[in-house]
């Protein structure tokens, strides 16, 4: 020790490293905990039997036919994952300007939900996306007329879509469309049809982000999208606006809230959780997943460690749970301790 430090006597009095010195001590003072209960697994559905297709821009992610989706749901249940979210990759021949396939009680999503519920009952939650982009030949979340996204006309279809999904057995509808007034409209439609118990997970703060590209590849909407979604999804520059969006959705009957994307918007997540103290989730979107996978695939970082660190970041920022394509891997690692 230098003469300078020796002259300070017992310096330093406070040593932050003491609590970090042993594994048991680090666990004992840990401020946030990640468990399998924090995970929601998004899954992509395709038609057919025994079919699986790799999503090129999302290494490790596949589109699965309904029979394989049912097996994946069983895997999720066995791992302790409480819920899955299902997204269809719709046959392009079924996509139309009026998105009528989204209202079909026998569409891909509804058939998948019925099969999952028949196999697994209420032991696993099923979340369905409410938006028109999987069925719209324009690739937009709402109806399009003369290049403009129609708000109120879209609401009528979203309500019908939510009711159709609820009849199929969906536990949570998740409106991701960002049309004004959709939460109130959907809540009223569900209640009128006797689905008071179906929850609404609102994509309350969904940004017009460049991180969605691989997802659009997975559901087949990217190649048909005409223009962009900036007239209804939020400006990435805005933070106060997110609080207004959330306040409206809360007042209209949302049960839970979603921030999308996740990692680039941790500040939004924190503000929403602190302000509303409601169940709040983050979506670790396809672009975030793809970046970690690409870096890990090139040996530039430890993929598993980076993945777990990213999930803990969501918890630290206030998330009650995370939609992540890493859900089964994270669950296995957590279960192994």
Cα–Cα distance measured from residue 274 to residue 35, given in angstroms and rounded to the nearest whole number = 22
SS3 240: helix
Active site residue 100: no
Confidence of residue 215 (pLDDT cuts 50, 70, 90): confident
pLDDT value at residue 6: 62
Q: List the domain range (segments joined by +) for residue 59.
A: 33-335
In this structure, is residue 270 part of a structural domain? yes
138-195 pLDDT per residue, tens: 999 999 999 999 999 999 999 999 999 999 999 999 999 999 999 999 999 999 999 9
Q: Is 245 annotated as a binding residue?
A: yes
Mean residue pLDDT across the chain: 94
Tokens of 161: 């879509």
Active site residue 229: no
In this structure, is residue 161 part of a structural domain? yes
What is the pTM assigned to this prediction? 0.93
pLDDT value at residue 226: 82
SS3 82: coil
In this structure, is residue 10 part of a structural domain? no
Confidence of residue 3 (pLDDT cuts 50, 70, 90): low
Confidence of residue 83 (pLDDT cuts 50, 70, 90): very high
pLDDT value at residue 12: 76
Tokens of 120: 């697994």
pLDDT reading at 15 higher than 70: yes
In this structure, is residue 24 part of a structural domain? no
pLDDT value at residue 218: 86
> What is the total count of domains within the chain?
1
* Residues 155 and 182: beta-carbon distance below 8 Å: yes
In this structure, is residue 71 part of a structural domain? yes
pLDDT reading at 4 higher than 70: no
Average pLDDT over residues 11-35: 90
Cα–Cα distance measured from residue 335 to residue 35, given in angstroms and rounded to the nearest whole number = 9
CATH number at residue 161: 3.20.20.70
pLDDT value at residue 222: 67
pLDDT reading at 14 higher than 90: no
- Provide the percentage of residues in the chain whose pLDDT is more than 90: 89
In this structure, is residue 22 part of a structural domain? no
pLDDT reading at 1 higher than 60: no
304-322 pLDDT per residue, tens: 999 999 999 999 999 999 9
Confidence of residue 9 (pLDDT cuts 50, 70, 90): low
pLDDT value at residue 217: 85
pLDDT value at residue 216: 86
In this structure, is residue 180 part of a structural domain? yes
225-245 pLDDT per residue, tens: 888 999 999 999 999 999 999
58-81 pLDDT per residue, tens: 999 999 999 999 999 999 999 999
Max CA pair span of the chain: 81
Cβ-in-10-Å burial (0-12, 13-18, 19+) of 224 comes to: middle
Catalytic residue among 206, 229, 273, 315: 206
108-123 pLDDT per residue, tens: 999 999 999 999 999 9
In this structure, is residue 37 part of a structural domain? yes
Cα–Cα distance measured from residue 330 to residue 324, given in angstroms and rounded to the nearest whole number = 9
- Rank 6-10, 30-34, 212-216, 237-241 by mean pLDDT and report only the highest: 237-241
């Amino acid at each position: 020790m230098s003469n300078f430090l020796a002259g300070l006597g017992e310096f330093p009095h406070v040593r932050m490293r003491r609590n970090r010195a042993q594994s048991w001590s680090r666990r004992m003072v840990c401020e946030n905990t990640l468990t399998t209960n924090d995970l929601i697994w998004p899954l992509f559905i395709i038609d057919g039997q025994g079919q699986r297709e790799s999503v090129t821009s999302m290494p490790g992610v596949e589109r699965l036919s309904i029979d394989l989706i049912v097996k994946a749901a069983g895997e999720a249940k066995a791992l302790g994952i409480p819920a899955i979210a299902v997204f269809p990759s719709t046959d392009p021949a079924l996509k139309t300007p009026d998105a009528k396939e989204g209202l079909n009680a026998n569409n891909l999503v509804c058939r998948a939900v019925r099969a999952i519920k028949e196999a697994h009952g209420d032991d696993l939650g099923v979340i369905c996306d409410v938006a028109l982009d999987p069925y719209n030949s324009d690739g937009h979340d709402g109806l399009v007329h003369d290049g403009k996204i129609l708000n109120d006309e879209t609401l009528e279809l979203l309500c019908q879509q939510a009711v159709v999904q609820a009849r199929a057995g969906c536990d949570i509808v998740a409106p991701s469309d960002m049309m004004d007034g959709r939460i109130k409209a959907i809540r009223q439609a569900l209640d009128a049809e006797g689905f008071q118990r179906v929850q609404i997970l609102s994509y309350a703060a969904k940004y017009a982000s460049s991180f969605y590209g691989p997802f659009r590849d997975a559901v087949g909407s990217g190649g048909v999208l005409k223009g962009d979604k900036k007239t209804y999804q939020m400006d990435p520059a805005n933070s106060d606006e997110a609080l207004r969006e959330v306040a409206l959705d809360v007042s209209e009957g949302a049960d839970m809230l979603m921030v999308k994307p996740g990692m680039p918007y941790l500040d939004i997540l924190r503000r929403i959780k602190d302000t509303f103290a409601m169940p709040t989730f983050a979506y670790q979107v396809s672009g975030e997943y793809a970046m970690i996978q690409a870096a890990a695939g090139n040996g530039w970082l430890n993929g598993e460690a980076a993945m777990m660190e990213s999930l803990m970041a969501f918890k630290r920022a206030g998330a009650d749970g995370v939609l992540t394509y890493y859900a089964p891997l994270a669950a296995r690692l957590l279960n192994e301790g």
